[in-house]
Chain A
């Protein structure tokens, strides 16, 4: 099991294009995600990042191209518990919803447990362990709305992790999270990637902090402009992609630029 270099990619995107009316959102995207990789998918607002993620998850059907997850065509793929997803929307959930941290994390197991079945003691232990691994066990019985943005995001990561997925997809997970928590959050992701060997796909428009944590970077702006190691990315010329919108910021600087 330790040998994963020769295995097929977990996600295989071949020549995918998507249009809304006359507007091209994605054009001829080819992207493979290998097992064990920590891939940062970057691009300016409106570059199609979230759309690409939704396409991968089968929420949107592309006009052209093929997507394979774990060697299965998307329309035949059923093992959704192998994919953990933390959406952008997680930051804007209805905080008035009366659910405890425990209840929220347990949702991540529902699909694995299956219809007409109930959570057993083993599942409950798994929920506790996962909360422990993201450092949120002491908040188990707290209402989700009482937590800070950073803490909520950890809970949503725990929900995505609890079904023991092979890959975790995070769509702009640090929006609405304060700067100090962002650092901790990336450290958590690094730990998951290195210690638990979870493949990570992190989508963000915040290039600065991310590049020092991920192993590989893919740049998207309708088409894929760059796909390589994080080091090559930092040395490359970003301005062609970002224009004057984004300053390159190294991770030891605070940044305040949010639109």
Chain B
């Protein structure tokens, strides 16, 4: 792969983008999982699809848009969707989770209409849904690099507030942490990362890259810091494996990435089960002897 890597620009784009999202998605995933918001990623990824579809539709009339990356429109829609979701969560205070299916429906409904109007049920769409390593452009790479720098910086700056809000939202607000603004900031970051991940992982599988590494890491971690470390390792391993197999086997990277992350989760759960089983046996053994 080394030779090809230096020869083909598309491969470099895909690889570097992969490294960045393999880092970003699991980090945000840690907060999302411990806050029990995993489904939000699904809703926002579908809104991103709406944005992509809207771009494709507009590009038919305004030809200059064909030269632009649909990533911008995807990001715009994702951010707008995230703000709407935060608003809805405050409307239905007793049923906060209702915001998720509402946004999800808007995303799919509008998306399908836009795609039909744009006559866009084709190979292009397939790439957006399941990811691809050949469609990442230099422009995408630059935008995603900016997102990576900004989001990582914000996460470092607001780490302690995000941790407290995740652990106990009520206590955090009692202690004077501006929960409302930090929540909005966080959901915007999530939207941007989802839109950035879409090229490689695909819209339908973005949520898996955010939640599966965190789901594995939570099984292994004693501290919150450890959970980041494990999530990033698992996320990067999955993404790199996905990109390499996509190149050699000519398959969608998204599927492989998710399958690798899923296998890691199953192995961890399996090992834990065996471990708990043997320690129980040991315990009952000593019980019998005392």
A residues contacting B by CB (< 8 A) are 57-59, 78, 80-81, 83, 85, 87, 89-90, 93-94, 96-100, 102-104, 106-108, 110-111, 113, 115-116, 118-119, 141-143, 159, 163
Determine the chain A residues whose CB is within 8 A of the CB of B167 once the complex forms: 93, 97, 99, 104, 107
Among A59, A113, A142, contact of B174 (Cβ-Cβ < 8 Å) = A59
* B92 at the A interface (CB under 8 A): no
A103-B223 in contact given A81-B175, A81-B176 (Cβ < 8 Å): yes
Among A57, A85, A93, A100, contact of B223 (Cβ-Cβ < 8 Å) = A100
A93-B168 in contact given A99-B223, A103-B224 (Cβ < 8 Å): yes
B residues contacting A by CB (< 8 A) are 34, 157-158, 160-161, 163-164, 166-168, 170-178, 217-218, 221-227
Min Cβ gap A197→B in Å is 21
Task: Tell me whether A116 and B157 are in contact (CB under 8 A).
Answer: yes
Min Cβ gap A53→B in Å is 10
Determine the chain B residues whose CB is within 8 A of the CB of A97 once the complex forms: 34, 166-167
Min Cβ gap B211→A in Å is 15
Query: Which partner residue on chain A sits nearest B227 by CB separation?
Result: A98
Determine the chain B residues whose CB is within 8 A of the CB of A107 once the complex forms: 160, 163-164, 167-168, 171-172, 175
Task: Tell me whether A111 and B222 are in contact (CB under 8 A).
Answer: no
Among A57, A80, A85, A100, contact of B222 (Cβ-Cβ < 8 Å) = A100
A110-B223 in contact given A98-B34, A99-B167 (Cβ < 8 Å): no
Determine the chain A residues whose CB is within 8 A of the CB of B222 once the complex forms: 98, 100, 141-143
Determine the chain A residues whose CB is within 8 A of the CB of B164 once the complex forms: 107, 110
Task: Tell me whether B170 and A59 are in contact (CB under 8 A).
Answer: yes
13 A-B pairs within 8 Å (CB atoms) are namely A58-B174, A96-B218, A98-B217, A98-B223, A99-B167, A100-B224, A103-B225, A107-B168, A107-B171, A110-B160, A110-B175, A113-B160, A163-B175
| Chain B CB within 10 Å, residue with most, of A110, A141, A142 | A110
Distance A143 CA – B225 CA, assembled complex (angstroms):
12
